[in-house]
Amino acid sequence: AQSVTQLGSHVSVSEGALVLLRCNYSSSVPPYLFWYVQYPNQGLQLLLKYTSAATLVKGINGFEAEFKKSETSFHLTKPSAHMSDAAEYFCAVSDLRAGGTSYGKLTFGQGTILTVHP
Amino acid sequence: GAGVSQTPSNKVTEKGKYVELRCDPISGHTALYWYRQSLGQGPEFLIYFQGTGAADDSGLPNDRFFAVRPEGSVSTLKIQRTERGDSAVYLCASSLRAGGLMNEQFFGPGTRLTVL
């Protein structure tokens, strides 16, 4: 069964600093990988997704993530943090079937709360 | 267009009572998912529908939990004999179809269930 581990339940950065949120996955086959963001009192919003087309994936709001099969990682980065980036971030995995289509369900990590200081 | 909507936004009930949580997916989305998010945790999969049928209900914790989607649109998650451990935010998501490159799931704001 697939699983996702997010290292660090809380990350704090200064405004303008690099954001790095870590995600490692465990999957029996190469998965689809996702990062979602959850702002207070709002639903989860997709930031970006990896579906085997390119290992470096660019998402919304200046975020990007790199799929590294050798490290089973999909870390999320942003060169310069903004106050509006403060939220909770979730990494998620969807296993692929043998034919290449993904299962419907997502397995999420426990989340990382990002705090941005002025 | 409208996103995924869930009602009620908050539900407080007493232990042992029955509750129903409703999800209205994005129009035209054939796949619908239910997740449960406990405090401090990531969402946990419960069940998903492709059309009217439950394609995978492996995440339902026990037989007190049941979900339906009779017409392939609105879904209702039903919890019988609620327990305090059922307290959580119940999230609904929909996608154009389940699986494949187009399976981006759009989430609703959730229903916060509190069992006293």
* pLDDT digit string, tens, across residues B69-106: 999 999 999 999 999 999 999 999 999 876 665 578 89
Distance CA A107, CA A25 (A): 10
Query: How does pLDDT run across A2-49, given as a tens digit for each residue?
Result: 789 999 999 999 999 999 999 999 876 777 899 999 998 788 999 998
Q: Closest chain B residue to A52 measured between Cα atoms? A: B101
Say if the Cβ atoms of A107 and B45 lie within 8 Å.
yes
Query: How does pLDDT run across B96-108, given as a tens digit for each residue?
Result: 876 665 578 899 9
Q: Left if phi > 0, otherwise alpha if psi is -120 to 50, otherwise beta: which for B100? A: left
Integer angstrom CA distances of residue B3 from A30, A37, A79, B87:
30, 16, 30, 25
Residue to test with chain B: of A4, A10, A36, A106, most B Cβ within 10 A = A106
Chain B contact present for A62, CB below 8 A: no
The one-letter amino acid at B4: V
Dihedral of CA atoms B77, B78, B84, B86 in degrees, nearest 10, equals -30
Residue to test with chain B: of A24, A101, A105, most B Cβ within 10 A = A105
Say if the Cβ atoms of B99 and A97 lie within 8 Å.
yes
Say if the Cβ atoms of A90 and B56 lie within 8 Å.
no
Distance CA A58, CA A7 (A): 21
Respond yes or no on whether the N-terminal peptide bond of residue B8 is cis (omega within 30° of 0): yes
Report pLDDT for A116: 97
Chain B contact present for A59, CB below 8 A: no
B20 SS3 class: strand
For residues B76-97, b (16+ Cβ closer than 10 Å) or e, as one string?
ebebeebeeebbbbbbbbbbee
